[in-house]
Amino acid sequence: MLADTVREAARRFGDRIAYIDDDGRPITYAEVDRASDEVAVGLASMGVQPGSVLALVLGPGVDYLLAYLAAAKLGAITAGVNDRLSSRERDAVLDRAEPALVLAAPGLGSTTHATVELESVSEIARAGETPPPLPPDPDRDVAIVFTSGTTGLPKGARYGNRQLSFITQTDVGDAWGAGGRSFSGTSFAHLGFMTKLPGNLQRGGTTFIMRRWRAKESLTLLARERMTSVAGVPTQIALMLRQPDFDDYDLSSVQFIVVGGGPITPGLAQEARTRFAAKLSTRYSCTEAGIGLGTAFDDPDEDAIVSVGRPHASVALSVRDAEDPDRPEALAEGAIGEVCLRSAACMTGYWHDEAATRAAFTADGFVRTGDLGYIDEAGRLRLVGRSKEMYVRGGYNVYPVEVEGVLSTHPGVAAVAVVPRADAVMGELGVACVVPRDPARPPSLAALREHAAEAVAAYKLPEAIQLLDALPLTAGEKIDRRALREMLDEPPTP
């Protein structure tokens, strides 16, 4: 369906600019279709055929876009590899993917898999040629989207025409056009780009691609291009707000903020809505589920601050006993359990990993997200953390996201993450890793505990504080909790 969508977008939008690369190079919808045809023929001459895996170790940009579309036109499967991973991490992903061919940026090639390093995919294109038409097959795999691998080896979630069609129908329906100007600042190897590309093509908008996301450049684009919406992971929104000259940008055109890729803290949500003077919507899913929940722009203001909203149409949500998720009975309102999702968007399974696939699904077909949360009295899902992030203090479970949500509203806190450290008496104790708004006047541990005391139980309060200039991030722009725990090998500030 991806090949059909780009051809129809070219017919409808023709000379309209589809993407503008980081170097300012524009490409129209018609050129995207034509160039991906030429790249497809080049890939076919190199042995890429239906069912082949093409791995892309390319930064976000037009080259990645064209190679992905070219593979889809051949019936091949694209495995995206985040170019910001270390060489060891890239090798682990490629070993899992077992690609027939790797296209890589200079210096990022593989020594164990057939690789072509190139400056531009135009180097392999066959000018003026087109691939033969591909028969429709809703079950054909299109993409392999890899998990972050922060808690083990990365796993590749398989997505095919059936899932992409469902996601596109959910996002845009049968409508064409109405797309505006926006920027993209995350890796193209991630779930968003790989599964939502058909919908983005259908919208017919113009996307400015940032090869390396930077807060200042993002604000410049928003102001210069008079963009009406800003989207990103919570970290990106926070870094834009922390720009010293944020208030100097004319952001009056921005009407909407869309946040996904991780829970946004209440403090950040409130600040973003106020300083952008825009409506806020949150999105929640995981690599294996495809789509999940969200808040609408016309929902009550509180929804996007305290929750990740309610399920999208045709998505089933169930919060289950984390120790026995195969029990079909959902937990009672307010009870914390593992968040499980089921829809036609869920992955087919993990690439070449049947055991992990079985473990990822419940007996009745729900994806186990690994996130912990509860459904509140308004039917909203509230997250409290990852199952692997929960720690036990003196026999009581503590969920870091719950505590972070309260600490984030302290006026002296710019960013915060709570991680455990071992304790001989209590087992584990919470440490608040804090980026202060004013480094010269950071909040004290006592001030943080006092601020949170009325909202959370005493055993959940942090018992040490670690002041940082910035929270460490993974290649996917998420908080690197493993790195934070390693930092705590050094005694935190009392």
Determine the residue type at 392: V
pLDDT computed for residue 385 by the predictor: 78
pLDDT computed for residue 489 by the predictor: 60
Helix (H) or strand (E) holding 300: none
Residue 32 lies in a domain: yes
Residue 492 lies in a domain: no
Residue 404 lies in a domain: yes
Structural domains in the chain (count): 2
Distance CA 32, CA 14 (A): 10
As to burial, measured by CB atoms within 10 angstroms (0-12 exposed, 13-18 middle, 19+ buried), residue 491 is: exposed
Domain boundary among 155, 178, 203: 203
Domain boundary among 184, 203, 222: 203
pLDDT computed for residue 126 by the predictor: 97
Residue 314 lies in a domain: no
CATH number of the domain residue 459 falls in: 3.30.300.30
Q: What is the pTM of this model?
A: 0.84
Positions in the chain short of pLDDT 50: 150-151, 491-494
Domain boundary among 162, 178, 203: 203
pLDDT tens-digit map of 472-487 = 887 767 788 888 888 8
Residue 364 lies in a domain: no
pLDDT computed for residue 149 by the predictor: 56
CATH number of the domain residue 15 falls in: 3.40.50.12780
Domain that holds residue 198: 2-203
Q: In what order do the strands lie in the sheet with 53-57?
A: 115-117, 101-104, 53-57, 77-80, 141-146, 156-160
pLDDT computed for residue 169 by the predictor: 95
Instruction: Using DSSP bridges, classify how beta strands 310-311 and 316-320 pair: parallel, antiparallel or unpaired.
Output: unpaired
Residue 352 lies in a domain: no
Residue 374 lies in a domain: no
Output the CA torsion sign for 423, 425, 430, 432: negative
Residue 337 lies in a domain: no
CB 322 within 8 A of CB 314: no
Counting residues of the chain whose pLDDT is more than 70, the rounded percentage is: 98
